[in-house]
Structure formats: C-alpha cells, structure tokens
Amino acid sequence: MVVFTTIFQRLGGFHLIIAQDKEEAAYLNTDLQNLLGKEDFPIFPSSFKKPYQYEEVDNANVLLRSEILSRVLEGQEKDEIIITYPEALYEKVINKRSLKENTFQAKVGEQVDMEFVAELLHSYDFERTDFVYEPGQFAIRGGILDVFSFSNEHPYRLELFGKEIESIRTFDPESQLSIASVDQLSLIPNTQTKLLQEVRQSFLASYLRRQTFGSKITN
C-alpha cells in the first residue's frame, strides 16, 4: 500500500483498487486515509445486504453506487481512487446512455418550471412527501424545492424567484440546516429500479476511463 500511495502521489491518474472482499475494502480505505491524509475514498459496493442474495437490497449501498456512477460519468475528479471488490463488480450497472438520458441538471440562474420538475421526478419514481429524509423523495413548499437525489449523500434545496433558481444548497434532513451552497446539481433516479433496467453493462467495461490503473492489493 505504501508503494501504491507513493506512485499515486507522483503520477496521479484514475485508479481502481480491487480488494478481496467488502471487509478488506474498508481496511484499504482506512489505510489510504492515513497515508494520503484525505478524509475518505469512495468504495463501490454491492447493492445487496448479503453476497449474491438478490432479495435484500441495501439502500445506502444503492446510493453509493449511483453516486459513484454519476461522479465517474461527469469526470469531476482528474485524480481518483475507487475501491471495490468482486461481488460489486459482478453486479451489472445501468448503461451510460440510459444514465445520461435520466439525469436532470440545473444551475443557479436558470429558468425552471416547478410543475415540469415535479412531473419529471414522478417519472423518476420519486415520492412526494412533506419533508425529505431519504433518497428518492421530494417536497415543494411555495418557491422551495427539496429533493434527495441518488447522486448525492445529502438532499438539495432549490429556492426560486418566479421561475429562476436563486440558490441551491445541500442540507441536513434531520436538522434542516444548510451544509453548503452549490452552483449546480444533478438528479438521477434509483439506478436499481425497473425504470432503468433496459440494458445492464459491466462497470469495468462501460464506465472506466481508457487510462485507468487497476490494482489488486491485499493487506
């Protein structure tokens, strides 16, 4: 691991680390945090609570998978390390085309129609609630739209003046306090729903960049 972190610090690049299992992936995450001084590294997990048991889905893992797919698709980070393990790679993911077609993006200053956004979120199978507390929910109160996308660990709050987006913030669903202001957001539906089951592909084959460094590291 020390050799790997030295290479990453010198060369950068996009790296995929394949651990033996979920537990080892967590250990590698901790090692990388200690060696590189970064808060966290994304672990691309399996969607299911037990390996190859497809009946019980872990919603937190579905959120992580969707968030990483969106992140890789948008290419937000030039230098990146993603950790995963065989069970997670075995599970197919939504193809790039479907993900792009089912991604709604909005920026501060843009004009949006609240009714259109509500209809879009319904088509994404989002649930309208009084308050959002988990991914796949949205709430509308006057000119304020709260929405919990599957592409971010915190919900978004959009404040509109007429049809113009005045501000976008992430917030804590429990305290309702703002976390950070952002210039734009991406909304994607649950990538595990039947809505997005048309064509499934391998994460390795469809999402990884051409210049990706793959490593199988064991402690």
The SS3 of residue 84 is strand
Nearest in space to 169 (alpha carbons), one of 144, 188, 135: 144
Of residues 16 and 95, more confidence is placed in 16
Are residues 181 and 202 located together in one domain of the fold?
Answer: no
Are residues 209 and 178 located together in one domain of the fold?
Answer: no
Are residues 68 and 111 located together in one domain of the fold?
Answer: no
Are residues 89 and 152 located together in one domain of the fold?
Answer: no
Are residues 53 and 121 located together in one domain of the fold?
Answer: no
Are residues 56 and 86 located together in one domain of the fold?
Answer: yes
Are residues 43 and 116 located together in one domain of the fold?
Answer: no
Query: Can you give the residue range of the structural domain that contains 206?
Result: 2-98+193-216
Are residues 55 and 91 located together in one domain of the fold?
Answer: yes
- Which structure tokens are listed for 36? 């590189």
Are residues 12 and 87 located together in one domain of the fold?
Answer: yes
Give the number of domains in the chain. 2
Are residues 83 and 167 located together in one domain of the fold?
Answer: no
Are residues 112 and 175 located together in one domain of the fold?
Answer: yes
CATH number of residue 68's parent domain = 3.40.50
Nearest in space to 62 (alpha carbons), one of 139, 120, 125: 125
Are residues 49 and 74 located together in one domain of the fold?
Answer: yes
Model pLDDT for residues 150-183, shown as the tens digit of each residue: 878 899 999 999 999 999 999 999 998 999 999 9
The SS3 of residue 19 is coil
- Which structure tokens are listed for 96? 């790039």
Q: What is the mean pLDDT of the chain?
A: 82
Buried b / exposed e along 195-205 (16+ C-beta atoms within 10 A) = ebeeeeeebee
| Model pLDDT, residue 68 | 84
